[in-house]
Amino acid sequence: MASRLDEILKEREKKVETLKKMGIDLYPARSVKEKSNKEVVDNFEKYEGKILTLAGRIMAWREHGKLIFGQIQDQSGKIQLFIRSDSMARADKAKQTLGFEELDLLDIGDIIQTTGEVVKTRTGEVSIQVSEIKILTKARLPLPEKWAGIVDPDEAFRKRYLDLLMSPEKILRFERKAKFWSECRKFMASKGFMEVETPVLETVTGGADARPFVTHMNAIDQDFYLRISTELYQKRLIGAGFEKIYTLAPNFRNEGMDDEHLPEYYSLEWYWAYADYRDNMQLTRELYRHLAKEVYGKTKFVSRGMEYDLAEEWKEIDYLKVIKEKIGIDIVNSTDAEMIEAIRKVGVKLTGEINRARLIDNCWKIVRKTIAGPAFLVNEPKFMSPLAKSKAEDPEITERFHIIIAGSELGNGYSELNDPMDQKSRFEDQQKAREKGDEEAQMMDTDFVEMLEYGMPPTSGFGMSERVFWFMEDVSGREGTLFPPLRVKKEQ
Q: Is the pLDDT of residue 431 over 90?
A: no
CATH topology of domain 4-137: OB fold (Dihydrolipoamide Acetyltransferase, E2P) (2.40.50)
Q: Which residue has the higher pLDDT, 45 or 360?
A: 45
CB 237 within 8 A of CB 271: yes
Domain positions in the chain are 4-137, 165-314+373-473
Across residues 155-174, what is the average pLDDT?
A: 90
Q: What is the pLDDT of residue 153?
A: 67
Q: How confident is the model at residue 149 (pLDDT cuts 50, 70, 90)?
A: very low
Half-sphere exposure of residue 313, counting CA atoms within 13 Å on the CB side? 3
CATH topology of domain 165-314+373-473: BirA Bifunctional Protein; domain 2 (3.30.930)
What is the pTM assigned to this prediction?
Answer: 0.89
pLDDT digits (tens, 9 = 90+) for 211-238: 889 999 999 999 999 999 999 999 999 9
Q: What is the pLDDT of residue 350?
A: 64
| Cβ-proximal residues to 471 (8 Å cutoff; 6+ apart), any chain | 301, 303, 304, 405, 406, 408, 410
Q: Is the pLDDT of residue 396 over 70?
A: yes
How many other β-carbons are positioned within 10 Å of the β-carbon of residue 422?
Answer: 15
Pairing of strands 400-405, 222-226: unpaired
Q: CA 344, CA 109: separation in Å to the nearest integer?
A: 54
pLDDT digits (tens, 9 = 90+) for 402-416: 999 999 999 999 999
Q: What is the pLDDT of residue 351?
A: 63
Q: Is the pLDDT of residue 144 over 70?
A: yes
pLDDT digits (tens, 9 = 90+) for 58-104: 999 999 989 999 999 999 999 999 999 998 989 999 999 999 999 99
Least confident of 108-112, 322-326, 475-479: 322-326
Out of 180-189, 251-260, 358-367, the most confident range is 180-189
Q: Is the pLDDT of residue 312 over 60?
A: yes
Q: What is the pLDDT of residue 151?
A: 53
Q: Is the pLDDT of residue 347 over 70?
A: no
Three-state DSSP state, 46: helix
Q: Is the pLDDT of residue 156 over 90?
A: no
How many other β-carbons are positioned within 10 Å of the β-carbon of residue 170?
Answer: 17
Least confident of 7-21, 24-38, 119-133, 377-391: 377-391
Sheet with 214-217, strands from edge to edge, namely 201-202, 222-226, 214-217
